[in-house]
Each structure stands twice: as structure tokens, then as C-alpha cells.
Chains A and B, each alone.
Chain A
Amino acid sequence: MILKLAIRNLLQKPLTTLLSWVLLTVSVGIISMLLLLQGQFEKQFTGNIKDVDMVIGAKGSPLQLILSAIYHIDAPTGNIKYAEAEKWMQHPYVEKAIPLAYGDSYKGYSIVGTTKDYLDKYSAKILTGSLYESDFEVVAGYSLAKKLHLQTGSQFYSTHGTDGHGEEHKDKAYTVTGILQPAGTVVDNLFIGNIESVWKIHEHHHHDDNDGEAVNASNAGSHGENDDHHGKELTAVLLKFRTPVGSVQLPRIINSQTNMMAAVPAIEMNRLFSLTGIGIDTLQYVGWGIMALSALSIFISLFNSLKERKYELALMRTMGAKRVDLLMLLVLESVVLCIAGFIAGILLSRLAIWALSASFESSYHFEIQPWTLNIPGGVQLLVLTLLLGMLAASVPAIKAWFINISKTLTHE
């Protein structure tokens, strides 16, 4: 009954209630959207650097190297000689080295030439079809296959560069031999084949494409696995160390003594997070600010209505209402409003993310699940919202507690 009365009282002043509710909704919406984005963003990014202690590539920006070699959302920094990279791939500190040759794409999705180790690293399993066997065969990630409507047996021409507007390599077509299971990693949005395919595609390209692609520079005629890697080029190598000493020593040596660059993903990603973190923090402060404002708005509307409702409350006392009942009534009015704001805010944030997810998807191949039930920080946010509601109601509620019934009734 008190709950019903509280709701009725809220509806009695629709505009004031609306203002407080909208403020709450927006603040909860902003905060929970940021929490969700940040959570999924960091989960995706850190999930993908698992087991990659260091990346070797051409000199340039280390962050760019990481973004291109691991996440495939940036252009490659350039090429490195296979022979030179191989020395480090066989270094005693190195447990596993995965060579990558990329730089071509199909409709904006990277084609990565690599070894089977790459698929193992991401525990990628075949969903339909089979693994690639020979040159110019690739497996397609689950998400991109769905989006581009690719099936086993589909053929396509790769495009030079990663933006989808480059020149097509018309002479050789790739064949999709299989689709991978959805994994929630970068693999979902990649074509994966063997390195030789990438090399061969570029054998006949003798024009000056030195802008970051695995190119056969000298040894154009020779094929085969082991004998003529020399002269071939790679875009990057992903390395996992046997010992932590490796990640301390090797990057320094490689960066100072070779014309290659070594970048440590953990360091670069921390740098990136701290950069984007500033923006997220600022937005979060805005969110908290609006929330404080909404608490103030609830407080003022309760406080103002208390003046008008003093008589009403005294009347309820004459009908047998206890002090606690009045206290509950005011607190409930505020708390009900807060819960309504919280629910609407959570929905709003999900809607916003759902609206944004398409654009994230296409420009960064970054997938967000807006409808996940697991709301990061959701419980804390709810508790905080409720506390805020009680705080806003506390002064009016205490005033209601000490209402002098006799005086209120005689001085209307």
C-alpha cells in the first residue's frame, strides 16, 4: 500500500518526476555504457595478446606494429627479411615463433599467410569444410564468412592493402576450403592461409610495392618449404618466450642491433588503454556529475512537495500511520524513482551500444555484445543509485518524522 501510494505520489507530479527520471536514466546510461564498452574492449584486446610476448616487424611505430600484427586493424609497418627474422625465431629463449605475411585483403578483411601454429594459438577449430592444404587455399573466420556470405568453395580475388580500395590481384584467386568456429578472437575476422600463397601472389608484381607487404624480392622462381625462405619477406613474427628473461633482453637487442623492431604487446596495449582511458574517464565524470544532479533534483522535488504535503502527512498520522510509515513513504518515492531510472539507464546503454555496434563492427572488426546479462559494475552501480536515492530522501524523511501533527493541522 505504501509502495502504491509512493508511485501515485510520483505520478501526481509528472513533470518533476520526469525530470529526475530522465537525469537518472542518462547518467546511469552513460556510466553503464562506458563500463560495458571498456570491459569488452579490454577483454577483446587482452584476450588476443595471450601467448604473444613479443612481435618483430619492420621499424616504425611499435603500437602500429601491434595493432596490425595482432589485431589487424592498422596498416603493416613494412616488411622484414625472412632470413633475418629466422635467427630470432630460433633463438634459445624463444619457445614458439609464428611468422605472418599479410597486407592483402578482401573487402576490408585481412588475408594472413602463416603456419598452422597460428590456428593452434587461437585454438581455432574448423566448423565446416576442411583446413587449407595447398597454395591459394584459405579458411575464413566465422564472422566474416557470415557477413560476406562465403561458403566452402567460394572464390575471390585479394586486394592490395587493407582498406579494400587497392588494386586487385587478378591473376590468382583464393578458394575458401573451410569456415572456422566462432572464437571471440581476432581470428573471427581473418582469412588464414599458408605463407607461400602470399609470396606467390606478389611474385609477378614487380612494381614498387614496398609499402608493407610480403614480397618475393629476389628468388622469384623457386618454390618449396624449407630451402628457399631466404630472400622471402615477412610482415611480422609473433613470439612466445620460454623465460621471462627473453622479454627483458631480446627487445632491446633487436631494436638496437638490427634494422627490425621488436614490440611488447602488453606494454603497447597499456599505453593505448591509458590514452583512451583519459577520454573514458572524462565521460565517466560527466556521468557521475549528471547523477549528482539527478539526486539534487529528487531532493528538491521531495523537499518542495513536503511543504505542500505536510498537512497530508499529518492527516495520515491521525488515521493511524506511524512515523516509520511516513519515513518509508518518502524514501520509497525516491527509491522507486531511482530503480526506474536505473532500469531505463541500463536499457538505454544497451540500445546505444547496439546502435553503435554496427559501426564498430565495420570499422574496427570489433564485436560487442550489447545484450549480455553480465553488466560489469552493474551491482555496484545499482547499490550506488539506491544509496543516492536514500540520501536524497533523507532530509525530507527526517522532517516528516518530526512533523508536529497538532500544529500542522491547526495552521493550514
Chain B
Amino acid sequence: MITGASGKGKTTLLHLLAGILTPSRGSIAIGDTDIAKLNGKRSDAFRGKNIGIVFQRSHFVQSLNVLENLLLAQWLSGNKRDSIKVMTMLEQLNIANQAGKKTARLSQGQQQRVSIARALINKPRLILADEPTSSLDDEHCIQVARLLQEQTALNKTALVIVTHDQRLKNIFQHSIQLV
């Protein structure tokens, strides 16, 4: 977990890790790959395959429903579209009954769960979560945090959370503070 006050560069760090931003100097290694050296297309492909991102406020492709959004994530990462896999994932996260709904019609908590499902669907090596709980109430905050913890453990995925949410301190022990 990476904490720090606003403006300290938490999100910038996360974007660097995700390969959305390229560092002007130095290197960032994920596994054996120096993602700072990847360019354009290869960076996109690497990100799709190896990194899942959860944002503070969930955004989806508006015109698609929950199931299709996850299928799109599979497809964009270069994997086969597999709706059984997607449904299993939704089952695990307790939102299988929402699969046919447009994402805009879900509650905040449900949306965040779909985001987690989307981040996990390709079994990435790394999950980056940017303020995943800041816009949730206490109850949902704990739920989502637990979910992230469980699922990443289950999938053997590394998890990096960037947040200033004090509520998460009790759940995640490893913490780096940016000052």
C-alpha cells in the first residue's frame, strides 16, 4: 500500500507502474521486463496482459453491459473471449445476477466490484488500485478491500494500492508513505 497526502505523486507513481506514463530517466521492472523501455504498441500489449487497474471511480464502456465489458477486457488483452470464465469470476464476487445490466445502472459498490473483476479477469501478475475505496462508505470500503485481498491472494497476483484512505491501514500491513 502506498499512502501520502494529495499532490505527492501517488497517482503519477501508479501511472508510471502501469506504463501509462514513461519515466524520463531510470527503469521500472515488472518481472523481467523493463516497461520504461517498451514503446507504444508493445507497452499497450504488456499492460493488457500483465496489469489490471482499478480506479477510484469505476468507468466502463457505457454502451456495453457488465458481461460485455469484461469480455472486452479479455479481448483487448489478447485473450480469448470466454463468457464462462467471466461468469465464474462474477459469481466469486457475488454480482453474477447483474451481468446483463448496463454498468451505469449498478450501485457504487457493485460498480467497484465489476472493476475488480475486470482487473482480475486476465489473471494479471500485478493489480494496481488507485483510490479504490475513497468514494465508498465504511461498509463497502471494507468489503472491497477484503475482496481485493482475497482475490489477489487466490490468483497469486501482486497488489499495489495507492490511497489516502485511513480505513485501509488495518487491512493492509505493508505500507509506504510518500512525503
Contacts and interface: CB of A to CB of B under 8 A. Distances in A.
B98 interface: no
B61 to A, nearest CB: 6
Interface string B38-78: 00110011011100010101011111100010011101111
Interface residues of B, number: 32
Contacts of A409: 15, 20, 55
A311 B59 contact: yes
A245 interface: no
Contacts of B77: 319-320
Contacts, number: 76
Nearest to A316: B76
Contact of A5 (B12, B53, B72, B118): B72
Interface string B98-118: 000000000000000000001
Interface string A341-383: 0000000000000000000000000000000000000000000
Contact of B62 (A312, A317, A319, A322): A312
A1 interface: yes
Contacts of B45: 320, 322
Given A5-B64, A406-B21, A319 B59 contact: no
> Most A CB atoms within 10 A — which of B12, B18, B76?
B76
A334 to B, nearest CB: 15
A11 B53 CA distance: 28
B149 interface: no
A319 B72 CA distance: 9
Contact of B57 (A8, A309, A405, A412): A412
A12 interface: yes
> Most A CB atoms within 10 A — which of B40, B41, B75, B78?
B75
Interface of A: 1, 5, 8-9, 11-12, 309, 311-312, 315-325, 405-406, 409-410, 412
Interface of B: 11-12, 15, 18, 20-21, 40-41, 44-45, 47-49, 53, 55, 57, 59-64, 68, 71-73, 75-78, 81, 118
